[in-house]
């Protein structure tokens, strides 16, 4: 049987790691559980330029969050690999259960973040990893010298399109409107970039190919016309999808209050269940950034400490 921790944190993205730092530094026995790679969405980005102090040459989301974990561990936080399948959040002892092990604590911070939203068109699943990608940092280099496409018009789409210009011969952003959602600085950079082109008012209708993605079918939002894009050399096309996020909250459904899938909290990160807090992208909030995730984590850990003091 595992020990009963003061604080358990589910997710090791910037929110969970900041919570781990603040919890452990406050003297709470702190367990961080993560099923995959630390860093969450932040490791999908190659360049972090808007987290204060992250100005080191070659700073990536990975390097930044690697230091965040080291800092939390330096104060005594314990990080374990675990895929949690069910949660028991009511009661004084909270339980997070994997397939063969249960973890227990008196408080929990949910920091499971969000995952890339899928386009939902035919062929998307079949060609994932064979032309379709959700991570330019991971897969961009496979498209050296090729033509690639990016679906989406937000910060992620434009930032990653800029990153892809390092490898690709040409990068075309496919957006469903005629205006980008991304912040102006990113827009300006993309509009000025000689390798970046745009297809406006269009959505991806279907993806086709033999072994790999070879044809992207687009539908015009203006007149419904369908057009096809095929690789000039008949080879593989790259399609990087950045059309927003879906919160990773499925296992919390029915356990606490959600709004359109996101966890509702007050400004102190308290959820509808006493002793359960939420931090980061899975929360109902207006700005999803590394800095706001880290801030949520700090607040949630301090609230957990306060909760434990009053519960004693
Ligand atoms: P987002 O801001 O929600 O933008 C999603 C984009 O995809 C929008 O342009 C949207 O079009 C489009 N879209 C949504 N569903 C679509 C569909 N089914 N088909 C085609 N297009 C679709 O998502 P994001 O860019 O992933 O960013 C998520 C959050 O992370 C945001 O809060 C963002 O600011 C933040 N972020 C920040 C940075 C940074 O600060 N450097 C970098 C990356 C992400 P419409 O515009 O028409 O709605």
Question: Which pLDDT tens digit goes with each residue over 220-256?
Answer: 999 999 999 998 777 889 999 999 999 999 999 999 9
Q: Which residues of 65-94 are buried (b: 16+ CB within 10 A; e: fewer)?
A: beebbebbbebebebeebebeebebeeeeb
In testing the pocket of ligand 1, which one of 14, 243, 261, 288 has its CB within 8 Å of the most ligand atoms?
Answer: 243
55: pLDDT strictly greater than 90? no
Confirm or reject: Cβ of 157 under 6 Å from ligand 1.
yes
Confidence of residue 176 (pLDDT cuts 50, 70, 90): very high
pLDDT at residue number 48 = 84
- Distance from the CA of 182 to the center of ligand 1, in angstroms? 7
Average pLDDT over residues 26-42: 95
Average pLDDT, the chain: 95
Confirm or reject: Cβ of 244 under 6 Å from ligand 1.
yes
2: pLDDT strictly greater than 80? no
Lowest-confidence segment of 11-20, 134-143, 198-207 by average pLDDT? 134-143
Average pLDDT over residues 79-99: 96
Q: What does the alpha-carbon distance between residue 270 and residue 281 come to, in Å, rounded to a whole number?
A: 15
Lowest-confidence segment of 22-26, 37-41, 118-122 by average pLDDT? 37-41
pLDDT at residue number 1 = 59
117: pLDDT strictly greater than 90? yes
Lowest-confidence segment of 44-58, 118-132, 256-270 by average pLDDT? 44-58
- Distance from the CA of 157 to the center of ligand 1, in angstroms? 7
Question: Which pLDDT tens digit goes with each residue over 255-294?
Answer: 999 999 999 999 999 999 999 999 999 999 999 999 999 9
Query: Locate tokens 């939002």: which residue?
Result: 221
Q: Whose CA is nearest to atom 43 of ligand 1?
A: 156
pLDDT at residue number 224 = 95
Confidence of residue 59 (pLDDT cuts 50, 70, 90): confident
Query: Locate tokens 């932040």: which residue?
Result: 42
pLDDT at residue number 57 = 80
Q: What does the alpha-carbon distance between residue 299 and residue 278 come to, in Å, rounded to a whole number?
A: 10
Q: What residue spans of the chain are helical by DSSP H?
A: 14-25, 61-74, 136-139, 155-164, 184-192, 290-311
Q: Which helix (H) or strand (E) covers residue 220, if one does? A: strand 213-220
Confirm or reject: Cβ of 119 under 6 Å from ligand 1.
yes
């Amino acid at each position: 049987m595992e020990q009963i921790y003061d604080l358990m944190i589910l997710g090791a993205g910037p929110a969970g790691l900041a919570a781990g730092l603040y919890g452990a530094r406050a003297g709470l026995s702190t367990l961080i559980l993560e099923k995959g790679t630390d860093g969450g969405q932040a490791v999908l980005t190659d360049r972090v330029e808007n987290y204060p102090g992250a100005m080191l040459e070659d700073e990536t989301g990975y390097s930044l969050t690697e230091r965040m974990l080291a800092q939390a561990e330096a104060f005594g936080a314990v990080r374990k690999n675990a895929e949690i399948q069910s949660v028991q959040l009511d009661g004084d002892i909270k339980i997070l259960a994997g397939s063969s092990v249960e973890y227990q604590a008196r408080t929990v911070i949910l920091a499971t973040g969000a995952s890339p939203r899928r386009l939902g068109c035919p062929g998307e699943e079949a060609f994932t990893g064979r032309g379709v990608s959700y991570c330019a940092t991971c897969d961009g280099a496979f498209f050296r010298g090729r033509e690639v496409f990016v679906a989406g018009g937000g910060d992620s789409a434009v930032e990653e399109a800029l990153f892809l210009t390092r490898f690709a011969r040409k990068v075309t952003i496919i957006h469903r409107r005629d205006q980008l959602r991304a912040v102006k600085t990113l827009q300006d950079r993309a509009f000025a970039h000689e390798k970046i082109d745009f297809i406006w008012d269009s959505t991806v209708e279907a993806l086709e190919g033999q072994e790999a993605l070879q044809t992207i079918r687009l539908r015009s939002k203006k007149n419904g016309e369908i057009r096809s894009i095929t690789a000039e050399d008949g080879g593989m096309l790259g399609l990087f999808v950045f059309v927003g996020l879906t919160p990773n909250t499925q296992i919390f459904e029915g356990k606490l209050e959600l709004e359109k899938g996101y966890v509702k909290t007050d400004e102190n990160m308290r959820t509808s269940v006493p002793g359960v807090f939420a931090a980061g992208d899975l929360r109902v909030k207006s700005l999803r950034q590394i800095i706001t995730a880290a801030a949520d984590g700090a607040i949630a850990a301090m609230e957990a400490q306060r909760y434990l003091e009053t519960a004693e």
